[in-house]
Structure 1
Amino acid sequence: MRAAAIPLLLLTGLAACSAYPADPPTRSARAQAQIARELAGRVPGKPVSCLSNWRSNDMVTVDDRTLLFRNGRTTYVNHLRGSCTNLGFGGYALLTKQFGGLGLCDGDVARVIDTASGFTVGSCAIGEFVPYTRVANR
């Protein structure tokens, strides 16, 4: 009897996790304004899975779940899969580690590091990169 109860409890717990979809996270007014400024005059393109050539000093942290990557006339928006806790606050840095390839790709795990102590204080997965390209003047 006890052996049958454990799987039943596990299934009940799993059903509770998927019963209600998570509400989309809200973005602060500051983050919304920053994104609007960065993407003004740009139009979105088809998402890409990887940025093969990027420099960390071209990465802009908007908040705990949004990164921007500037590359010439294109700015890539990345909505992280989950929240990288503390990333949006000063004193923390995003450290990525890729295995088996070049660049930064959808699904790569990034760690948030406290720059004073060097300790990992959070982590999250990188999402797709949506390119926003400046509209050419006619």
Structure 2
Amino acid sequence: MAYWNLLCAAALMTATGPILASCAPPGTANAGAAALTPKQAETLNKQLAGKVAGAPEKCLPSFRTNDAIRVSDTILLYRSGSNLVYRNDLKGSCPGLARDSDIMVIKQFGSQLCSGDFFHLVDRSSGIRGPTCVFGDFVPYRKPAGDAG
């Protein structure tokens, strides 16, 4: 019986391997990651220029979540002054986020915004609710100490 279970598991993994591999567009590091448009890449590079990534954080205090920049349907940035930007790679795509015309309605539990918390988009003119999206970890990008520019 154990041999049969192993055989079935191996067959399943062999059969689904090509399907899972096809989820990642060519040239991307993460499965399901979408390539950025030139404008989105420019926005991301401009906001993170001269900054160094730190260790991912699970949560951000609410006071740091007021200045959101929508880079793409999968990337949000939260600016906290000129020396600190948090990058959030959402847990999956959030169709329409990059348009920046819909309202983000965040379901926050407690005084922090955390990985796993969710939000949804609402069409500004019709009020129709759009997709539900989930935050990933928050990666801080800081200017190195002593960097004045």
TM-score range, shorter chain: 0.7 to 0.9
Structure 2 counterpart of 1:28, from 37, 60, 74: 37
Helix, strand or coil for the counterpart of 1:127? coil
Instruction: Classify 1:56/1:115 alpha carbon distance in 2 versus 1 (closer, same or farther; 3 Å).
Output: farther
Superposition TM-score, scaled by structure 1 size: 0.80
Select between 104-113 and 85-94 the one with higher mean Cα deviation.
85-94
Bigger fraction of residues in strand: 1
Moved over 3 A (4+): 15-19, 54-57
Match of 2:88 in 1: 78
Instruction: Classify 1:85/1:128 alpha carbon distance in 2 versus 1 (closer, same or farther; 3 Å).
Output: same
Helix, strand or coil for the counterpart of 1:118? coil
1:46 and 2:58 correspond: no
* Structure 1: gaps of 5 or more residues: 1-11
> What CA distance in whole angstroms lies between the structure 1 residues aligned with 2:134 and 2:18?
20
Select between 46-55 and 33-42 the one with higher mean Cα deviation.
46-55
Structure 2 counterpart of 1:93, from 91, 100, 103: 103
How well do the aligned residues superpose, as a CA RMSD in angstroms? Answer: 2.4
Instruction: Report the AA paired with residue 85 of structure 1.
Output: P
Structure 1 counterpart of 2:143, from 130, 134, 137: 134
Instruction: Classify 1:121/1:136 alpha carbon distance in 2 versus 1 (closer, same or farther; 3 Å).
Output: same
> What CA distance in whole angstroms lies between the structure 2 residues aligned with 1:119 and 1:91?
13
**2:70/2:100 contact within 8 Å kept:** no
Match of 1:61 in 2: 70
* Structure 2: gaps of 5 or more residues: 1-11, 25-32
Q: Deviations over 1:71-120 (max 9, x none)?
A: 12210000111111111114212111123x22210001110111112221
**1:46/1:130 contact within 8 Å kept:** yes
Instruction: Classify 1:136/1:111 alpha carbon distance in 2 versus 1 (closer, same or farther; 3 Å).
Output: same
Select between 43-52 and 110-119 the one with higher mean Cα deviation.
110-119
Match of 1:108 in 2: 117
Select between 88-97 and 31-40 the one with higher mean Cα deviation.
88-97
Select between 53-62 and 87-96 the one with higher mean Cα deviation.
53-62
> What CA distance in whole angstroms lies between the structure 2 residues aligned with 1:118 and 1:48?
33
Select between 123-132 and 56-65 the one with higher mean Cα deviation.
56-65
Instruction: Classify 1:55/1:74 alpha carbon distance in 2 versus 1 (closer, same or farther; 3 Å).
Output: closer
